[in-house]
Amino acid sequence: MSTEKRNESYMLKQSRYSKGKKNVKQYSKNNASKKGGSGKNSYNAYYKKNDDGFQPKSNGKLSYGKKKNLSKSKGYPKKKARKPSVKIAFLGGLNEIGKNITLVECENDIIIVDCGMAFPDGDMLGVDLVIPDFTYIEQNADRVKGIILTHGHEDHIGGLPFLLSKVNVPIYGTPLTLGLVGNKLREHSLFNKTQLNVTNAGQTIELGCMKIDFIHVNHSIPDAVAFAIHTPGGTVVHTGDFKIDCTPITGDMIDLSSFARVGDEGVLALLSESTNAERPGYTPTERTVSDSLDSLFKSAENYRIIIATFASNVNRVQQIIDCAEKYGRKVAFSGRSMVNYMDVAQKLGYLHLPENILIDLDMLDKYMPQQVVLVTTGSQGEPMSALSRMAYSDHRKVMVGEGDFIIISANPIPGNEKTVGNVVDELLKKGCKVIYESMYEVHVSGHACQEELKIIQKLVKPKYFIPVHGEQKHLRKHADLAMFLGMERKNIYIGDVGSVLEINEDYMKELPPVQAGKVFVDGLGVGDVGSIVLRDRKHLGQDGLIIIVASLDVYDGHVISGPDIVSRGFVYVRESEGLLEEVKRTALAILEDCAENNVHEWGIIKNRIKDDVSKLIGQRTRRAPMILPILQEV
C-alpha cells in the first residue's frame, strides 16, 4: 500500500475513533438511519443517561469497529462507587413524650444519640421511672463507639445510669450536660467507671467511621447542641430539642450558619424535633419572661413569693435571682433536683449569684415574708415534689397560706393538666394567691414552633426527612410542614419505637423492627415490674383483695383448720360479716368435695375456689376482687 493510501486509512480510523463525547455523538447522528431513528432520538436510543454520566447500553459495545468500554475512555467520568447505607434505629422518643434515644449505624459502627427516661402515666401504679429497652444495644455492644448527648434534660439523659450498668461506653457532651450526668452517675456509683468527654459547640469528634459536628442551639437549658453526623453513607442531622432565640438569656443565638453550611454540603437525612409542630408562628424569646416577672414582683411587694419551675431551666432561675436582687429579696431553693441543678450550674459558671443573696431553707423563718423568694420544684404537680407537699401540708419546713404569692412558671406537660390543677386548687383553698394562667407570660417554651421548624428544614435541605420527639399528632403535623415546603411524601418517614430505617443516596426503606419498648423502674428493681404486675396492681386498686387460708390433712386432704377469710380493700368486715360467712362456707364445701373425690392437685383446687367464690361475690355485690387461696398441708 502506498504512503498516501496508508495516511488516508489512518485519518479515517482517527475520525471514527476520536476522543470525547462530541465525536461519538456526531457519529451517532450521521448514522441515524442505521439505528431506526434520527438526530437526538437516535442518540438517546443508544445511550442511557444516569447519575454517573452517559453510559452505553449492551456493556459498552459499539456496533462498529473494535470493542471499547467508553466509561474508561478519556472524557468520560468513571462510574462512582455506591455509598454504603446508613441505618437509624429508634428505641424511644416516637409516639411518646420523653425517653429519647436514637441509634445511627454505618459500616459496622454505632453511635447513640441521647438516652432519656419518661415519667410514669397514671395507670403505672407504683412505678418510679420508665426507661428504654436496651436489649438491642446489649446485643451489639462491641459495635457501639460512644454516646453523644444533645442537652441535660431528664428525657435525654435520665436513662444513662441504667444503660451504663450494662454497657460501658464513652460519653460526649457539653460542660453543663456532663456536669449533670456526673451527678447522676455518682448516685449510682458509676462515675469512676465511666469516660466523660467534654465537647463544646463548634467542635468535631470522630467515633469509628463517623465524624460528628456539635452545633450550638437555643433551648430552655444552656449548652444545648444539635449534631451533624458525617458518615460514609452521607450526613445525618439531628436537631435535638431547639428553638430560634435571637436574644437568649445566656450565650449566643442558635448557630444557623452551621446548619446552612452543612445543608450546602449535602444532607442525606434530617431528624428534627416535633414537640411544638402544632403551634403556628415563632416561640417567644426567654426575655419576655423577665418583664412579666418584674411586674409580678412589684405587685407582690407585701407577700412571700414562691416560684415553681423546672429544675433544669437555669435561665429562668437566673431571671428570678436578678429580680430578687432588684427588689432586695433573699433566695432559697427547695427540692432535691433544684438544689442539685443549681449547684452544678453555679460551679460551671452558668448561674451567677450576687453575694449573700442565697440562704438556706432553714433560714426562711428568720426573714419577713416580703424579704424572701422561694424557688421550688413541682411545676408539673408531681406528687412527691416540694410544691405538692406544700399544697397538701406535707412539707417539713414550709407551710403556705394567705401571705403567699405563688407563681407556676411552666406549662403542664400533656397528661399532667389534672395533677397541676389539683395542686392549684389545694393552694387556693389555703388562701394563697396563685399565678398559673398563660396570660401572665411567666413561661415560654424551649421548643421550636412551625416557622422555626420551616427555617431549619430550608437551611438543611435534606433528601429524607424524619420527624422525631413527639406523639403521633406532632409527628404527622411536622410531616405536613415538610410537604408544604416541597418535600415529597415518599421521602418522609414516620416511625415508632423499635423501628429501623435504612437510607442511602438511592432509596429509603424500613427494615424489620428490633426489640424495644418500656422498662419500668420500681425502687431498686429494673424491669421486674411488667404488664402482668401492673394489671394486678390495678385490679387490687379498683376491686380489692380476698385471701382464703386453710390447712389440709397431708394424708386425706380434709380440712384441719379454716378456711379463714381476710379482706383488704373489698368490703368493711364488720358490716359484711354475712357475705364473708357465705364465702367461707363456699370455700369449705369445695375443699371437702375435693377431699372426698381424691382431688389433691392444688392448682385444680385453687381454681375451683377462685371460680365459685368469684361467682358468689359477683352475684351479691357486682364486684370482682382478686381472690387469693392459700393452702398448706399439715
| Active-site amino acid positions | 273, 447
Q: Computed from CA positions of residues 313, 315, 320, 324, in that sequence, does the dihedral angle turn out positive or negative?
A: positive
Is 264 exposed, middle or buried (CB count within 10 Å of its CB: 0-12, 13-18, 19+)? exposed
Contact call for residues 175 and 128 (beta carbons, < 8 A):
no
Contact call for residues 115 and 133 (beta carbons, < 8 A):
no
Task: Please give the helix or strand (H or E) that residue 109 lies within, else none.
Answer: strand 109-113
445 marked as part of a ligand binding site: yes
| Short-list 494, 504, 442, CA closest to 473 | 494
447 marked as part of a ligand binding site: yes
Alpha helix ranges (H) inside 140-286: 154-157, 160-164, 175-187, 256-265
219 marked as part of a ligand binding site: yes
Measure CA 173 to chain center. 17
Q: Computed from CA positions of residues 600, 606, 607, 612, in that sequence, does the dihedral angle turn out positive or negative?
A: positive
Residue 390 CA to residue 11 CA, distance in Å, equals 100
Number of Cβ atoms within 10 Å of the Cβ of 273: 28
155 marked as part of a ligand binding site: yes
Residue 244 CA to residue 6 CA, distance in Å, equals 75
362 marked as part of a ligand binding site: no
322 marked as part of a ligand binding site: no
DSSP 82: P
289 marked as part of a ligand binding site: no
539 marked as part of a ligand binding site: no
Categorise residue 392: left if φ over 0, alpha if ψ from -120 to 50, beta otherwise.
alpha
313 marked as part of a ligand binding site: yes
443 marked as part of a ligand binding site: yes
Long-range pairs for 22-31: beta carbons < 8 A, 24 or more residues apart? 24/70, 27/64
Q: Which amino acid is at 132?
A: P
Residue 438: HSE in the Cβ half-sphere, 13 Å Cα cutoff? 5
> SS3 sequence, 403-455?
CEEEEECCCCCCCCHHHHHHHHHHHHHCCCEEECCHHHCCCCCCCCCHHHHHH
The Cα angle at residue 128 between residues 126 and 132, in degrees rounded to 5: 120
Give 53's strand partners: 50
Contact call for residues 227 and 237 (beta carbons, < 8 A):
yes
312 marked as part of a ligand binding site: yes
User: Which positions ≥6 away from 147 have C-beta within 8 Å?
Assistant: 111, 112, 113, 114, 115, 160, 163, 169, 170, 171, 172
339 marked as part of a ligand binding site: no
First-residue to last-residue Cα distance in the chain: 123
151 marked as part of a ligand binding site: yes
365 marked as part of a ligand binding site: no
3-state helix, strand, coil in the chain (%, to 5): 35, 25, 40
156 marked as part of a ligand binding site: yes
The CA–CA distances, whole Å, from 140 to 30, 233, 337 equal 61, 20, 33
Q: Which amino acid is at 399?
A: M
188 marked as part of a ligand binding site: no
Residues forming the annotated binding site for Ca(2+)? 126, 128, 522
Residues forming the annotated binding site for Zn(2+)? 151, 153, 155-156, 219, 241, 469
Residues forming the annotated binding site for substrate? 311-313, 443-447
Residues forming the annotated binding site? 126, 128, 151, 153, 155-156, 219, 241, 311-313, 443-447, 469, 522
